[in-house]
Amino acid sequence: MAYTPELSYANSCVLRRIAWSLKEPMTVAIDWAIEELASHLDADEICRTCKDTLKCHTCLFHSEWQP
């Protein structure tokens, strides 16, 4: 990973509680939270505004992406 954003204290506390509820470490919980959020977003809008078109083949928002 090229960039690791820091969480605010409040968001770190939220993530910790999510991790506890999932009975998983925070590293797993943050992946789960991002994937869950992504499933509710408009993939076409994300693609349209993307600034990293070199990674389309690995992006879950790309219409042809498959895990």
- Helix or strand or coil: residue 51? coil
Q: What is the pTM of this model?
A: 0.76
The token duo for 51 is 């600034």
Asked if 49 contacts 35 with a C-beta cutoff of 8 angstroms, the reply is no
d(Cα 49, Cα 29) in Å, to the nearest integer?
27
pLDDT band at 65 (very low <50, low <70, confident <90, very high): low
Interval 8-41: pLDDT, tens: 999 999 999 999 999 999 999 999 999 999 999 9
